[in-house]
Chains A and B, each alone.
Chain A
């Protein structure tokens, strides 16, 4: 294993400290609870939107904290749910009179931790609610889930809810937006390589030099099948078919397309995928209104990509257009 790591046990707090030091005007960092919150704190006139999950998916979760996005987030160890006290303290740190919406990716560990934390916070008089994200079409049940997994579509739920909260929408309204996005967003990914959690030191699964995992999960969970590597267009076609048929999306739909890198794939390859996905979308009669090509939800250094399609309406388009600032910005 060759990684920029000191003590593997300190990997998560160390990268979080770096994010905080790089964004002193934007973020606060609490090492005890592995929590990052907006420097400006919660606003009692606005719903707070929080999230927390395992590390290794950055910029997902803590790097999505900032105006117009998350109010706060906490991290577990790499690929492990955050601790209950981290979740509880994150809700408390983001408590707002307007309420707190907890966006939970659908994994058993995350759900149990946030269930407990939300219950504890509610008992303290905080108006907190949960919403589960499950956009991955690859498999119905998985290693760590009952039901579909939450993956890169998570970004769109955060973006839309963060923007709606910023506009002063009520907790009911922000929750309804979360549901609308989740109902209209679908994702599937392909892994070209495995990845190595620093504390484990070995790959989480084995993949031959010429093999790919179609429908991989963001913790290396098995997807639909193991296959041989093929030209990019053939892989993109398979992803597009799987995703587009699921909602299903229809001719005339206005959509946003995301090609998300899983951590170890250069952006050039992501644009090769985007080119084909864009053509397929136009051929299917979709209008591609917005595109997102880059890393939004990764799996450490895994080479691979996922394709996400979100069906838009006027409300969602406006929410995606709204300004937002996070530590993940590239200028």
Chain B
């Protein structure tokens, strides 16, 4: 099974920063359809700090790096997204303490632990129209490839497609958690910005790795354009 190096993870985080900053206004526009319209700005505020302070983030090992990122995200991303996304990074950090390379199985485990942490922090579950509706199918995809062919490229591309599919699969649902839950039925027929963000990040990772993917959901197509 191919190893994933710390350098690859660092590159994925830099790409994530670029994705989030590029889509700052667009993600906020999407959030404005049913939420309070600050999701893009909140996320960008945190990732802008990561981008700016990149050289000061410890790089001794993957865990130390992710732990610092977790704190920066928790501290600088506004609203409930800060602790939610920060918890995801924290859980991933806990499983990579002292490691400078990981396997696809490790990556699947990191995401699995992140999902558990996010569920515990925010109380959401599958079908509540939150970013978990993207992360959970991605986790299943990573697990399957880790147990099967171990092909990182295929795992990444299928993960991106799974997150893309989650946008349309959850579009008609009514949000039960987060700010969008407060508008009830008004949240139906709008995409969840957290799910779009996860799909966009994964698609940009694919492109960065040399596997550009076509988007199905129109919001994703716009975000990766």
Write the residues of chain A forming the contact surface with B, with a CB cutoff of 8 angstroms: 83-85, 88, 112-113, 115-116, 119-120, 123
Interchain CB contact under 8 A, B83 and A112: yes
Q: Which of B57-95 contact A (CB under 8 A)?
A: 67, 70-71, 74-75, 80, 83, 86-87, 90, 94
Write the residues of chain B forming the contact surface with A, with a CB cutoff of 8 angstroms: 67, 70-71, 74-75, 80, 83, 86-87, 90, 94, 97, 121
A residues near B121, Cβ cutoff 8 Å: 112, 115-116
Selected from A84, A85, A88, A120, the residue in CB contact (under 8 A) with B83 is A84
Chain B proximity of A90: nearest CB distance (Å): 13
Interchain CB contact under 8 A, A85 and B75: yes
How far is A123 from B91 in the complex, measured between Cα atoms in Å?
Answer: 10
Top 8 A-B pairs ranked by shortest CB distance?
A84-B74, A83-B75, A112-B83, A85-B71, A123-B94, A84-B71, A85-B75, A84-B75
How far is A290 from B97 in the complex, measured between Cα atoms in Å?
Answer: 51
Among residues of B, the one whose C-beta sits closest to the C-beta of A123 is B94
6 sample A-B contacts, Cβ–Cβ < 8 Å, listed by A number: A83-B74, A85-B71, A112-B83, A116-B83, A120-B67, A123-B94
How far is A119 from B94 in the complex, measured between Cα atoms in Å?
Answer: 10
Selected from B80, B87, B97, the residue in CB contact (under 8 A) with A116 is B87
How far is A116 from B75 in the complex, measured between Cα atoms in Å?
Answer: 11
Chain A proximity of B158: nearest CB distance (Å): 31
How far is A116 from B121 in the complex, measured between Cα atoms in Å?
Answer: 9
B residues near A123, Cβ cutoff 8 Å: 94, 97
Interchain CB contact under 8 A, A119 and B90: yes
How far is A156 from B86 in the complex, measured between Cα atoms in Å?
Answer: 33
Chain B at the A interface: SS class? helix
Chain A proximity of B96: nearest CB distance (Å): 12
Chain A at the B interface: SS class? helix
B residues near A115, Cβ cutoff 8 Å: 121
Chain A proximity of B122: nearest CB distance (Å): 9
Among residues of A, the one whose C-beta sits closest to the C-beta of B121 is A112
Interchain CB contact under 8 A, B90 and A113: no
Among residues of B, the one whose C-beta sits closest to the C-beta of A109 is B83
Chain A proximity of B196: nearest CB distance (Å): 24
Interchain CB contact under 8 A, A113 and B94: no
How far is A227 from B94 in the complex, measured between Cα atoms in Å?
Answer: 52
How far is A88 from B72 in the complex, measured between Cα atoms in Å?
Answer: 12
How far is A120 from B121 in the complex, measured between Cα atoms in Å?
Answer: 14
How far is A113 from B80 in the complex, measured between Cα atoms in Å?
Answer: 11
Interchain CB contact under 8 A, B71 and A88: yes
How far is A112 from B121 in the complex, measured between Cα atoms in Å?
Answer: 7
Among residues of A, the one whose C-beta sits closest to the C-beta of B94 is A123
Among residues of A, the one whose C-beta sits closest to the C-beta of B75 is A83
How far is A299 from B74 in the complex, measured between Cα atoms in Å?
Answer: 26
How far is A52 from B87 in the complex, measured between Cα atoms in Å?
Answer: 19
B residues near A85, Cβ cutoff 8 Å: 71, 74-75
Chain A proximity of B24: nearest CB distance (Å): 22
Chain A proximity of B192: nearest CB distance (Å): 21
Chain A proximity of B218: nearest CB distance (Å): 34
Known A-B contacts: A112-B121, A116-B74. Give 19 more (CB < 8 A). A84-B70, A84-B71, A84-B74, A84-B75, A84-B86, A85-B71, A112-B80, A113-B74, A113-B83, A116-B70, A116-B83, A116-B86, A116-B87, A116-B90, A119-B90, A120-B67, A120-B70, A120-B90, A123-B97
How far is A83 from B67 in the complex, measured between Cα atoms in Å?
Answer: 14
The residue in B71, B87, B90, B94 that gathers the most chain A C-beta atoms within 10 A of its C-beta is B71
A residues near B71, Cβ cutoff 8 Å: 83-85, 88
How far is A119 from B86 in the complex, measured between Cα atoms in Å?
Answer: 12
Chain B proximity of A282: nearest CB distance (Å): 46
B residues near A120, Cβ cutoff 8 Å: 67, 70, 90
Chain A proximity of B51: nearest CB distance (Å): 18
A residues near B97, Cβ cutoff 8 Å: 123
How far is A275 from B38 in the complex, measured between Cα atoms in Å?
Answer: 49
How far is A113 from B75 in the complex, measured between Cα atoms in Å?
Answer: 9
Among residues of B, the one whose C-beta sits closest to the C-beta of A119 is B90
A residues near B70, Cβ cutoff 8 Å: 84, 116, 120
